[in-house]
Structure 1
C-alpha cells in the first residue's frame, strides 16, 4: 500500500502542470531538493499574498463613474415650477385673518417643544380673532384662493419656442411657498426643445405685485421676488430646497443642463432595484424627493391625524391651527433627532434624470424697453424695477450628459486577477485544478481499497488464497513439512516427497 501511494505522489509530481513539483520530486540530491522546495514555497507565499490582496480589492466594493456627452437633435424640456416669496396676498384677506396667522406663526416660532406648544395653543381663545371661516376650517382652500395667482394679469407675457403660451398651460401645485405653478408638467408627452439658445425655450414676464405682500419680517420671508426650479416631470418640486431665486428688475437667463444618472445597487452603490415604479403610493415613479415626502407625511399623520397641504396622501389636510401647533413642531423634532434617510429607508434611484441651471443676469429694462412696456402694459420704470421679472429658461446646447456608475472590479476581473497570479508564480491553471482533483480521487480510492480488503481465506478450485497469496497444495495433510525457498516462491515438501508451491503476490 505504501509503495503504491508513493508511486501516485511521484507520478503526480511529474505530470502536473504546476511548476516546481517535478523539480522537487526528481531532485538528484537533498541540497537540490531543499533549494527547489524553498523556491516553490516562496513563489507559493507570494502568490497567496497577491490573491488575498485581489480579494480585498474586490470586497472593498469600489466604483468608478463613466461620463458620456451626447449631442442631440432635440431634448426633452424639463418641468419648470415657479413660486412667489409671498404666500398670502393682502387683497384677499382681512386684518383679522392676518392677525390670526401672525399669532399662529409667532407662537410656533417661540415654543419649540410640541407638547408645550399644544398646551399653549389650547389656552388661547382663537375664536376671539374672528378670522374668516375659510381660513379656520379650510386652510388649503384659503391658500389656493388667496395665495400666489398666475393669471392673465400676473403673467404679462409667456412664450414657448417663440409661440404664445398662457396661464392655462401651467399646473397648480402646493409647496412650502404655498401656491406654485408648473409649466410642462405632462409626464407622457413633455415638450421638446429643438434649437439651442435663449428665446428657444420658455420665456416669461411676470408681475409679482409687491403691494400684495403680507410676509411678517419676524416670522416670514424677508425677500421679494420669485423662486423657480427645473426638474423632471416625475419628480415632485421642492423649491424650498433646490429652487433658484429671481429678483425683479433684471433679466434672468437660466441655462439648463440635462443629466442622466445610473447608479449601482448595494453594496457598490446606494440604489435599491426593488424600488420600482410601484414602490411609492402617491407617485408614479420612485424618486428620492417623493420617498421623503411620503415618509414625512406618514410621520405627521401618525402624530396629528392630518397632513400639511404640501404633503401627499389621502388623509384630510391640517387646519392652520393643526399645522402650526402639531404638524410643523412634530416634523421639526423628527428632523432634529433623526436621520430621515436612514429612518425612511430612502435611497437614490437606480436610474433618473436630473436638471440643473446656470443662472446669469442682465439689467432690465432698457430705456426703450421701459417706454414700450409703459405703453403696452402701463408699467412705469419704477414699478418694473420692483415688480416685473423676466425669466428665460432654455438649453444653451442640445446635449445630454450621462453619468454611469460601474464596478471598479467585476467578477470576471477578479477571476482574471486570481488566475494571473496563480499562472505567474506557480504556473497553475484550471487544468491544474482538475489534475489535483484527479490525484486526490486516486489517493483516496487507493487508501480505501487497501483498508477495506478482507483477510479471511478464500477457497479456489486448486488451492487456498491467503492474504494475497495463492497456495497450491496436495490433499494429503498431517505430515511434517520441509520448506525450500527460491527467488520466486516458497516450496513446501511433505514427508512423502510431495511438494506444494506458495506464490508470493506483491
Structure 2
C-alpha cells in the first residue's frame, strides 16, 4: 500500500513508500488470529449492514455475560454453605466417658459451717426453684459466704482442701454400689467400680470413667456399662428439694459438663441411655471457630469451648493477686502454676466471686472440629421383682429405703456407624472461576489464552504510541529485507529459467 490513510484507526501514515507501517499492523494481526468469537466480523465485514449486525450481536453477548458474571460474584460474596452427613461403618465404637455427680453435698453435723457453705455453692452453681423463690443472685450468695466463713480461724479443718472436705474416695465407695462392663457378645463382665476417678466440676466433685480405650463391638442394652448407685439421702440431704444424680456422657478427650448437658436421674428409677458417636467439622470458619488452643490445666484434653472456659477460670483463680490457689490436685508440669497452693475452705468465697465475674466467650471461640455423643433415654421404675428382693436381703434394708436411695443406669451403643457432619461452602473460589470461565466461553468465546492475546496487543500498541520512530524504522528494515528477498528470489527464478532453456536446447 502507498501513502494514505490508515483504514483501521484513521491515522495518517508517518512514512512514505512503507507498505506495512501505513496500517496498524498489531491490531490487524490481532483481528486475524484472536480467539474472541465474532469480533473479526465486526471490523472486517463485507458491508456496513453486516458489520453493524455483528456489532449488535457482540454487544448483546457482552452485556449478557457481564450480567451473569455479576450474579455469580454476588452469590460468591454471600458465602452460601451446606452441611453434608457421611455415615461410616466401624468395626467397633469407642465407649464414651461417663461422669456421675451426686446432686447433694455430704452433711457434716460437726461442722455446720461446712454445710452452710456447701448450700451457698450449690445455690450459685445449680439454679433451681429454691434459688429463684428466694430472689437470690450471685452477689447475695457471695455476701452470705463472707458472713459464714470466718476470716481467721486456727481450726485445722478450715485449712483442708476442697477435695479433702468432700472426701471423694469415701464418697465413691458409698455411691457406686455396682459397676459392670461388657464389650461384646463373647466378652466377660468386668468390674469397673475402681476405674471411676474423682473430677472437679461446677456441680462439685464428681466421678468419671473414661471408656475411650474400650471399643464396643455389639449394640443394645445387654452390652456397655451397668451402674447401680446409692445416693444416701440420710447422709446427703437435698438443699434444693431434688434427689438423685446428674449423668454426663461425653467424649473421653472432653471436659465433663454435668451442669450444661447432664441427665438427671432420680432414685427409684432405671434409665437406659443409648449413645451414637458423631463428629462435627466446620470448614467455613464463619462462626470464628478455632483449630485449638493450649490448655494449661487440661493439657490431656482436646480443645473445646467449655474446656477453654474452665481452664481460663482456674488460671484466673490461681493468680497471686486473685485467689492464689488452684482447684485441681494435678498442676501443670512446669510454668507459673506448678507451685500454686491448693484451694482451702476459707478461699471458697473467692472462688464463688471468680465464677461470677469471669467472662470467657471472647477468648474461647468454638472449635472447628469436635466429637460428641448423641443419646436417647428411656425410663422405668427401679428396683422391682427379684432385684428388689436380692437388694433387701444383701443390704439388710427396707423396700422404702431402696426406692428412696437406689437407682440404675445402663449405657450402651445404639449404632456401630459413625456420623460426620461437615459444613462447607457450596460456592467457593473454584466454583466462581469455573462460572466466570463458562460464561465468557459461552457468550464471547474468551479463554485464558485470549487474555494473553489482549495483553500482548496492549503492549504492542503502547510501544507503537510511545516509540513511533522505533516502530517505523523496524518496519522499513522489514520492507528492505522483503525487497532484498524478492530480488534474490527473482535472480534464482531467472537462473532456473536459463538452466531449463539450456537443457531444452541440449535435448534438441
**TM-score normalized by structure 2?**
0.75
Q: CA RMSD in A?
A: 3.5
Structure 2 Cα separation of the partners of residues 168 and 175 of structure 1: 20
Q: Does 1:341 align with 2:361?
A: yes
- 1:251-279 Cα distance to aligned partner (Å, 9 max, x none): 1000011002222153x453333x36x56
Instruction: Indicate if the aligned counterparts of 1:83 and 1:148 stay in contact, CA closer than 8 A.
Output: no
Match of 1:95 among 112, 118, 127: 112
Match of 2:265 among 243, 246, 249: 246
Map of 1:329 onto structure 2: 353
Map of 1:160 onto structure 2: 181
Q: Does 1:316 align with 2:341?
A: yes
Q: Does 1:126 align with 2:150?
A: yes
Q: 1:124 to 1:148 in 2, by over 3 A?
A: closer
Map of 1:447 onto structure 2: 465
| Partner secondary structure for residue 37 of structure 2 | coil
Map of 1:203 onto structure 2: 226
Structure 1 Cα separation of the partners of residues 124 and 448 of structure 2: 75
Q: Does 1:256 align with 2:275?
A: yes
Q: 1:321 to 1:380 in 2, by over 3 A?
A: same
Q: Does 1:176 align with 2:236?
A: no
Map of 1:78 onto structure 2: 96
Shift of residue 70 of structure 1?
2.3
| Partner secondary structure for residue 416 of structure 2 | strand
Structure 1 Cα separation of the partners of residues 245 and 120 of structure 2: 26
Structure 2 Cα separation of the partners of residues 262 and 225 of structure 1: 35
Instruction: Indicate if the aligned counterparts of 1:201 and 1:393 stay in contact, CA closer than 8 A.
Output: yes
Paired residues for 1:20-99 under 5 Å: 20-87=38-105, 89-90=106-107, 93-99=110-116
Instruction: Indicate if the aligned counterparts of 2:108 and 2:115 stay in contact, CA closer than 8 A.
Output: no
| Partner secondary structure for residue 212 of structure 1 | coil
Map of 2:299 onto structure 1: 283
| Partner secondary structure for residue 213 of structure 1 | coil
Shift of residue 98 of structure 1?
2.7
Moved more, 3-12 or 256-265: 3-12
Match of 1:394 among 391, 399, 412: 412
Q: Does 1:297 align with 2:314?
A: yes
Match of 1:149 among 167, 171, 191: 171
| Partner secondary structure for residue 303 of structure 2 | coil
Unaligned runs of 5+ in 2: 1-5, 14-20, 126-130, 183-187, 332-336, 481-508
Structure 1 Cα separation of the partners of residues 388 and 31 of structure 2: 97
Match of 2:243 among 212, 224, 229: 224
Q: 1:7 to 1:126 in 2, by over 3 A?
A: same
- 1:472-491 Cα distance to aligned partner (Å, 9 max, x none): xxxxxxxxxxxxxxxxxxxx
Map of 1:355 onto structure 2: 373
Number of residues of Structure 1 aligned to a counterpart in Structure 2: 436
- Structure having the larger proportion of residues in strand: 1
Shift of residue 92 of structure 1?
7.2
Map of 1:489 onto structure 2: none
Structure 2 Cα separation of the partners of residues 149 and 416 of structure 1: 65
| Partner secondary structure for residue 35 of structure 2 | coil
- 1:390-429 Cα distance to aligned partner (Å, 9 max, x none): 1000102222111122221233222211100111121111
Q: 1:454 to 1:191 in 2, by over 3 A?
A: closer
Q: 1:234 to 1:453 in 2, by over 3 A?
A: closer
Paired residues for 1:336-485 under 5 Å: 340-342=360-362, 344=363, 346-451=364-469
Map of 2:484 onto structure 1: none
Map of 1:504 onto structure 2: none
Shift of residue 448 of structure 1?
3.5
Structure 2 Cα separation of the partners of residues 141 and 252 of structure 1: 29
| Partner secondary structure for residue 290 of structure 2 | coil
Unaligned runs of 5+ in 1: 456-464, 470-506
Instruction: Indicate if the aligned counterparts of 2:121 and 2:352 stay in contact, CA closer than 8 A.
Output: no
Instruction: Indicate if the aligned counterparts of 1:97 and 1:132 stay in contact, CA closer than 8 A.
Output: no
Instruction: Indicate if the aligned counterparts of 1:246 and 1:389 stay in contact, CA closer than 8 A.
Output: yes
Structure 1 Cα separation of the partners of residues 401 and 63 of structure 2: 82
Shift of residue 77 of structure 1?
0.5
Map of 1:475 onto structure 2: none
Shift of residue 281 of structure 1?
5.7
- 1:207-256 Cα distance to aligned partner (Å, 9 max, x none): 1111112443xxxx331101111111111111111111111112100001
Structure 2 Cα separation of the partners of residues 198 and 390 of structure 1: 13
Shift of residue 449 of structure 1?
3.6
Structure 1 Cα separation of the partners of residues 180 and 147 of structure 2: 53
